[in-house]
Amino acid sequence: MRQRIIGHREASMLLAICVLPSVFLLEPSTGIARAGTAACLVKVGGGLAFLTLSVWVAVMVERYARGRGAFTFGDFLAHHLSRGVACAVTVVWAGAFMLHLILLLRTAAESTAKTALLQSEISLPLVLFGGAMMVGVRQELTALLRTAYLLVLGAGGLVVMLALLLLPMHSAELLLPWQGYGYAASMREVFSDMGTWCMGTAVFLLFPMMRAEGGTVKSVVRGVIAAAVIKCTVLLSALAVFGSVVGAERSFLFYEMAKLVHFSQYIQRVESIFVCAWVMVVFLAMIVFVRIITMLLTDVLSVSDGRPLTMLVISASVVCALLVSDLASAVEVGGMLTYTVMPVAFLVTVGAVTVGYILRRRDGDAYRVGGGD
């Protein structure tokens, strides 16, 4: 296994690109439906919870990595738990990423067919995305993350620009707490909302192979902040424009907001340009997901070369996305996965590693510099 050192910007963009795609799709409307006007606060709360636990995992992983050469996340888990549990956890996370990839593919294809390719069937954008992924996935993960850096910056700029262009339509009173379910009631959603951040676990899953130059903690903090800024801007703007009621009813809020942009007689109906932003981000995220799944499977199956697996993963994801009957099913499955399964999986993983860490520490053989398993 080859170990790579990547810049902390690339590492933080790995986290950002994994958690951002949903913000251009269904996450804003789902968030508003679950928390009302407090959606933005819930988002921040969920982000903080994820950040706290992530920093703890990052500290443990970095301590473990001290003085060690290349290793996988499976080795790290096996050190704290057992080889079998490590395999199981890796498979669970590979499965979680695979499910997310399928749902993302389906949602992206559906929204593309509804917004950009109006006369086409769902299979065309699906095949289009699948084919493009096969081309893009050939590149090194470093190249993907560098692209992510550019795209996240660009998408962030576009989001801010959208918010500014919609400034005349913003109504501050739509943000007031009594428009939704109240802040106190909404705070219960913080745990569930942590699920929208859990794809950021990719930083730890790939950490052994892609060590961040400035440290994982720094990368996690920066990545969460970058993603939180974009997510909160979209949520606040959507709430200010649509309010909690209408916002919860619409599906693709980002697109709906872009449709409202009207700036003189020459800049009107520019939603197709904003569509480009989310197509790019979502597409890149899907390629990154494929690479993550492949790397995890390569570790579990102890395969030396994971390239044949990429084709398999892409083909399987396209076929499975076609099997999903409609967008409502995708939303339902996606909601359950994101808001229920992912937070639990994340907490269980962190908890197990922590217990292992404590037990090892009690035995006195944890994190010896240069020590083996």
Partner 1 sequence: MRWQSMVAWLRYQPSEEPEPFILTEHTADEVSRAIAEADRSRMQAMADDIAAGKREKEKLCDGREDQSRDGEARSAGRSRDGGDGRSAGRSLDGEGRSAERSRDDGEGRAEEERILRMKRADFALREEELMPVGCAYRHGFTAAEDVAVSRSLEENANTLRRLYHADRTNDLKLRFFTLKSTMKKGLLFAYIDGMVDAMLATQSVIEPLMMLAEERAVQRADVMAERIRRQFLPMMQTAEGTDFGKVVTVMNKGGGALFIEGSDTAFLLEMAGYPMRAVGKAQIEETVRGSQASFTESLRGNISQVRSLVRSEDLVAEVVTIGRIARKECAILSVDGIVDPKLVREVKRRMEGVAVDHVFDCGALMQFLTERRTSFPQMLTTERPDRTAEALMQGRVVILTDGDPFAAIVPAFVWDFFHSTEDREMRPPSAIFMRVLRYLGAVVTMLLPGLYIALTYFHQEAIPSQLLVVIAGYRQMVPFPSLVEMLLLIVSFEFIREATLRVPSRLGGSISIVGAIILGQAAVTAKLVSPVLVVVVALTGLASYILPEYRFAFSLRVCQYAFLLAGGMTGLVGISLLSVLLLIELAGMSSFGVPFLAPLIPRTADGSGAESMRPDVLNPVRIVKAEGDGKRWQKEESE
Interface with partner 1 by CB under 8 A: which residues?
Answer: 7, 9-10, 112, 116-118, 124-125, 128-129, 132, 135-136, 139-140, 142-144, 146-147, 149-151, 265-266, 268-273, 275-276, 279-280, 283-284, 287
Nearer to partner 1, 77 or 144 (CB): 144
- Among 324, 317, 320, CA closest to 292: 317
Question: What's the closest the beta carbon of residue 370 comes to partner 1, in angstroms?
Answer: 29
Question: What's the closest the beta carbon of residue 216 comes to partner 1, in angstroms?
Answer: 17
State the SS3 of 296-343.
Answer: HHHHHHCCCCCHHHHHHHHHHHHHHHHHCCCHHHHHHHHHHHHHHHHH
The DSSP result for 245-277, as a single string, is HHHHH-S-HHHHHHHT-EETTTEE--HHHHHHH
Question: What's the closest the beta carbon of residue 180 comes to partner 1, in angstroms?
Answer: 33
Nearer to partner 1, 112 or 338 (CB): 112
Nearer to partner 1, 103 or 144 (CB): 144
Nearer to partner 1, 78 or 275 (CB): 275
Instruction: For 160-193, give one letter per residue: b (16+ CB within 10 A) or e.
Output: eebbebbeeeeeeebbebebbbeeeebeebbbbb
Instruction: For 351-363, give one letter per residue: b (16+ CB within 10 A) or e.
Output: ebbeebbeebeee
- Among 268, 242, 269, CA closest to 253: 242
Residue in the structure block whose two tokens are 């919609």: 166
Nearer to partner 1, 71 or 278 (CB): 278
Question: What's the closest the beta carbon of residue 278 comes to partner 1, in angstroms?
Answer: 9
Nearer to partner 1, 188 or 269 (CB): 269
Question: What's the closest the beta carbon of residue 332 comes to partner 1, in angstroms?
Answer: 26
Category of 4 on φ-ψ map: left (φ > 0), alpha (ψ -120 to 50) or beta? beta
CA torsion sign for 167, 171, 173, 177 is negative
Nearer to partner 1, 47 or 156 (CB): 156
Category of 332 on φ-ψ map: left (φ > 0), alpha (ψ -120 to 50) or beta? alpha
Structure tokens at 210: 């892609």
**Residue 70, SS3?**
coil
Q: Name the amino acid, one letter, at 107.
A: T
End-to-end CA distance of the chain: 17
Question: What's the closest the beta carbon of residue 7 comes to partner 1, in angstroms?
Answer: 5
Question: What's the closest the beta carbon of residue 318 comes to partner 1, in angstroms?
Answer: 14
Nearer to partner 1, 75 or 271 (CB): 271
Question: What's the closest the beta carbon of residue 227 comes to partner 1, in angstroms?
Answer: 18
